[in-house]
Amino acid sequence: MIVKTENKRYKQLTYNGQKILLDMDSNKLTWLFPFLVWFFPVKGYMNEELPIFKESNSKGKSSGAIIISSSILASVLIRMTNKGFGDLRGFSNPQLVAGTVLFCSMVIVILIRYFYRYRKNHVLLSNEKVVLIRFKFMDGFKSKYNYIGKVLLVVIFCYAVVFYFSITFLTSYLNIILIPVICMVEYLISIANTTIEPPETDVELLIEIKDE
């Protein structure tokens, strides 16, 4: 059984009575392709534990507050945009400015992901008993497809949103109001590897001792 811990970077695995702490950021490639997180080996630490995350009843209320606040903020930004706020067409080369702003914004998102989500949540663990956790799909491609299908569609949709708004920002709508949307979706993609649930059916859990 794999459950969330209070540290967003790690998950707790209980296997044959043993506690194994999984580092979901073991493979940085999953920051870009989060749907592959359980297809790669995940680094685990034997006999290590962190407090288990407990669902809060206030989670729904917080989500509602975020949605309402976002709606109000969007309305305010739209009004400001209508008054010329964020318009880059006043520059002599607006496409160049837009490209620079977009590139810098995306780099900032990656830095936030690295320092705030990765480095900040790092826990000093013993390297004496390090293992690699793998899932073997028993039904081959069919079981892989059944597991990855929905997750892959969500990630593709998110990338489509980033691509669409980026192209729109660089070509037809040169206004920085699109930057928060692009950055937010990019950040959500980069942290999705720590939130995707592991496969539960038609799989076999394999544990290998990691060679140091």
Give 13-48 as a DSSP string. Answer: EEETTEEEEEETTS-GGGGT-GGGTTTS-EEEEET-
91 token code pair: 């520059």
User: Residue 131, Cβ neighbours under 10 Å: how many?
Assistant: 21
User: Helix (H, G, I), strand (E, B), or coil: what is residue 200?
Assistant: coil
Task: Give the separation between CA 53 and CA 145, rounded to whole angstroms.
Answer: 29
- Residue 63 is predicted with a pLDDT of 47
**In this predicted model, what pLDDT tens digit does every residue of 135-172 receive, in sequence order?**
888 877 777 777 888 788 888 999 999 999 999 999 98
- Residue 7 is predicted with a pLDDT of 93
Across the range 13-31, mean pLDDT stands at 91
- Radius of gyration over every alpha carbon of the chain, rounded to an integer in angstroms: 21
Across the range 48-75, mean pLDDT stands at 62
Task: Give the separation between CA 48 and CA 124, rounded to whole angstroms.
Answer: 11
- Give the least confident one: 65-79, 124-138, 147-161, 173-187: 65-79
Residue 79 pLDDT grade (very low, low, confident, very high; cuts 50, 70, 90): low
Q: In what order do the strands lie in the sheet with 2-4?
A: 2-4, 10-15, 18-23, 42-46, 130-137, 203-209
* Mean pLDDT of the residues in the chain: 84
